[in-house]
Amino acid sequence: MNYTIRKIEIKDTQAIIEIDGIHSGEKKLDYWEKRIKHFVDEQENLTLGFVAEDENKIIGFILAEGRAWEFGSPLCGWIFGIGVLPEYQRSGIAVELCKQVCTKFNSLGISTIRTMVKKDDLNVLSFFRSVGFKAGTFFELELEI
């Protein structure tokens, strides 16, 4: 496989919606159109969006952003979304997308990257552990109302 990784563009929106829909079971058209627009329009040092492309076909994506001060956290990177088409999984694409984000954040002096994963999503947990993620210093809390 001969894929490339490049910065996200607005034309990638539909492919990202499709990939996310496969994994989440729901196409979130409005949500992703707004989020991707943010990552394209605001793409500065701390707003990162990359896609993996194979022969003009988007096969994976990652969206990440540098954030600071929420809940007393120093500046750190956050991975908001990552996905790879099922037929391309387990070929290192998601690992390369993560490396791209880590390299960029590292060049900006950011040494910690965070994400959130459902505690029962063993495939995603396993992936993030395989690239070096471990339990962090914060716990997510929620309240049903």
Q: Delineate the domains of the chain, giving CATH numbers in brackets.
A: 4-130 (3.40.630.30)
Q: What is the pLDDT of residues 2-54, one digit of tens each?
A: 899 999 999 999 999 999 999 888 888 888 888 888 888 765 668 899 999 99
| Predicted pLDDT at 132 | 92
> What is the DSSP secondary structure assignment for residue 60, as one 8-state letter?
E
Letter for the amino acid at 90?
R
Are 13 and 32 in contact by the 8 Å Cβ rule? The answer is yes
Q: How far apart are CA 134 and CA 1, in angstroms?
A: 30
Are 111 and 100 in contact by the 8 Å Cβ rule? The answer is no
| Predicted pLDDT at 42 | 65
| Predicted pLDDT at 140 | 81
| Predicted pLDDT at 119 | 87
pLDDT above 70 (res 101): yes
Span 116-130, average pLDDT: 90
Q: What is the pLDDT of residues 88-97, one digit of tens each?
A: 999 999 999 9
> CA dihedral in degrees (35, 30, 87, 129; nearest 10)?
40
Percent of the chain at pLDDT > 70 equals 97
